[in-house]
Copies of this chain bind each other. A is one copy, B any other.
Amino acid sequence: MNFCSHCGQPVRFDIPEMDNRPRYLCDQCGTIHYQNPRLITGTLPVAPDGRILLCKRAIEPRLGYWTLPAGFMENGETTVEGALRETVEESCVDGRNPTLLSMISLPEFDQVHVFYRVDMPNYEFDTTPESSVVDLFEAGDIPWEEIAFRTVSATLRHFLEHIEADPVPVLNTAVFRHRR
């Protein structure tokens, strides 16, 4: 951030009064520009026969790796609405009965990833501009070495470990680039 988005003057990076961490400050109009983590919402779609849907990424980052449908939550929607919207956008799947599966922090990326288990009402899915291949996998056939993100592999593992549980416990953890 170089300029104030409100008045257009240059900002400085400093600790405001009554605060304890540096923010982008505008001396011209007084605005403090807070920056906060962003939410990624997505789903783990389960087909009527129990197979799991994965998408091969058609875009960077991690182009060519497999992932669950997910993306940035938008203003004006709920976490469930964001997860279902991304599922349509990335796999053309109409997810049903969302149940919360995981909430995983990535503090080094300023992100929180939230995944829901959803039922697929049928076998309808398709590729999209973001997914070059969309396919269903038996638990034993998941390409663990080619999963795009650690939040996705953690969510898949958690789902498989609790596949009989009702309600499914929610995985709440954090992923770090290097172990702390």
Contacts and interface: CB of A to CB of B under 8 A. Distances in A.
Interface residues of A, number: 45
A174 interface: yes
A129 B167 CA distance: 40
Given A5-B3, A7-B2, A172-B100, A36 B34 contact: no
A72 interface: yes
Interface in A1-32: 1-11, 18, 21, 24
A8 B18 contact: no
B3 A2 contact: no
A50 interface: no
Contacts of A18: 129
